[in-house]
Structure 1
């Protein structure tokens, strides 16, 4: 089965099914049940090619090859192009080739949303998204559905901010959310802040964050998205222990030098092995680096969904 960009995206629209698979994968990572060696990257003078193999029992076996290169048509942004190969975990047969770009965007946004629902205050009423690129768009799509539901985040205000006013206005109009005049204006007073940028330096400052804010950071491949004060004061969560133990690009820029004991794996919270947020005033940070187990989960969901609709050769 070969799924192009459109078919891969269409196969990942069931948020509940994807969320359940991601939860299963994160718990497997936290409990040491997944086989996911740290990702590696071959670097060129212009970008990198990353490789991320993984196995999650009951979900499958997959490997992602993805390039991260600056986009000359969009200064300051990068493209993420590649493929995910999904295999049968029992006999090793290749089952599907999927487009890595929509798969990565959707599974990253869904994981950040899962962390939001798990770690943010239950009375969250305002959510700020920082960024205007493809990942921010994927995140806003998730949040629009969340705020229109009847559970966590129902009726919450969504606000978007970025460095280019015209792009912020366009994204705000596309998703029907409010455009903030600056990143600081979006962050101040927000109950949750989700950063989805290609920044190589902090875009969020500790002094902008109110007590009890939840911060999610999925960008910052080339440098820290969050400042040291935010990391210093927050309860820290990540997909895997390597986010702090491994050097970038496998680990997180923000977590280098942080004591491993300070970082809790999100899967431990989802499994009920860790309490997560401890009180309403606690600042929580979920720092995402991406993880092969999440690609396995998303590939399994996409493959199953596409197979139900008929194979595409």
Structure 2
């Protein structure tokens, strides 16, 4: 593990001064160019396993509210072999009207042996791709092997990322896109091979093998009755108090979550799972470890409800950092 370079304190310096530290900085473009998406899916799967084994320190995230504007979340994680990871993500919905992303994030990496800063990177892209990546890991593990049609509900950042990642885990013949505004679905469909915009969500969902919910809706965007036997459903949208996922769907199939924290009150847990007992869901990592069943038959409905946890940021940021060093990406600064 290559960590920050520390200049020794010279004679006459303030006692215990840290000296000068070389820290790598990665822009959003640096991160994009450094992340291999197939490697990211594998790293996330390993992260879920480590989380369920108890190898990951992943404390509950505090939320700082800014009335009338948005909120800020502090997310930290660590596991042996990786850097201490701290992400600050700010969610300001009004940014969309200003042509600024609603989710903005910065990730800091620290040497676990000394606590010295190692890297400062943009976390906006990582937040987007690790969220969709975790859902697609669930598709890889739980969707029927012969799944051919996927419906993505939402044509924003998450919709785009899902369409990029889904073809990496199944040979889909059709990728259906549904959006609140049909023009947005049409625009996104033009950017992806095999994609087609649908105006009717029910029509898109009823004959799909995989359904991915990727919106910022405060109300369920599908009806549980539309989901046919054998479908895998994933949901990554977070918009309490209700959210995009119809809670009654959790009673129709086998529910998988990142961790049992999903059943805690928001902002730690998922608003859509409020009132459900923790034993209503299985950790995705337990299934990947073979400690719990996944899809048990072709007609089973499987469901993944993601909240977005710091473990996912940690493994994605670690992968980006190591790749960036190998590729010579980024800029060094002195702190």
Q: Please state if 1:118 is matched with 2:135.
A: no
Deviation track 1:18-43 (CA, whole Å, cap 9, x = no partner) reads 12221221111111111111111101
Q: Please state if 1:225 is matched with 2:244.
A: yes
User: Paired residue for 1:153, among 158, 170, 193?
Assistant: 170
Secondary structure at the counterpart of residue 174 of structure 1: coil
> What's the counterpart of residue 171 of structure 1?
188
* Cα 1:205–1:155 shift into 2, 3 Å: closer
Contact 2:235 2:244 in 1 (8 A): yes
Contact 1:188 1:208 in 2 (8 A): yes
Secondary structure at the counterpart of residue 104 of structure 1: helix
The structure with the largest alpha-carbon Rg is 2
Contact 2:96 2:102 in 1 (8 A): no
Query: What does 1:262-301 align with in structure 2 at a 5 Å threshold?
Result: 262-301=280-319
Contact 1:25 1:56 in 2 (8 A): no
Contact 1:161 1:168 in 2 (8 A): yes
> What's the counterpart of residue 324 of structure 2?
306
TM-score (norm. length: structure 1): 0.93
Contact 2:34 2:327 in 1 (8 A): no
Secondary structure at the counterpart of residue 184 of structure 1: helix
* Cα 1:73–1:290 shift into 2, 3 Å: closer
Work out the CA distance in 2 between the residues paired with 1:41 and 1:22: 24
Secondary structure at the counterpart of residue 56 of structure 1: coil
Give, in angstroms, the shift of residue 71 of structure 1. Answer: 3.2
Give, in angstroms, the shift of residue 72 of structure 1. Answer: 5.0
TM-score (norm. length: structure 2): 0.87
Work out the CA distance in 1 between the residues paired with 2:126 and 2:196: 27
Contact 1:128 1:192 in 2 (8 A): yes
Q: Please state if 1:23 is matched with 2:29.
A: no
Work out the CA distance in 1 between the residues paired with 2:315 and 2:209: 29
Which stretches of structure 1, 4 residues or more, deviate above 3 A after TM superposition? 71-75
Work out the CA distance in 1 between the residues paired with 2:57 and 2:238: 25
Work out the CA distance in 1 between the residues paired with 2:139 and 2:253: 15
Work out the CA distance in 1 between the residues paired with 2:45 and 2:83: 14
Q: Please state if 1:38 is matched with 2:60.
A: yes
Q: Please state if 1:137 is matched with 2:156.
A: no
* Cα 1:257–1:78 shift into 2, 3 Å: farther
Aligned length: 304
Name stretches of at least 5 consecutive residues in structure 1 with no aligned partner.
147-151
Give, in angstroms, the shift of residue 141 of structure 1. Answer: 1.2
Secondary structure at the counterpart of residue 71 of structure 1: helix
Backbone CA RMSD of aligned residues: 1.7
Work out the CA distance in 1 between the residues paired with 2:319 and 2:38: 11
Secondary structure at the counterpart of residue 307 of structure 1: helix
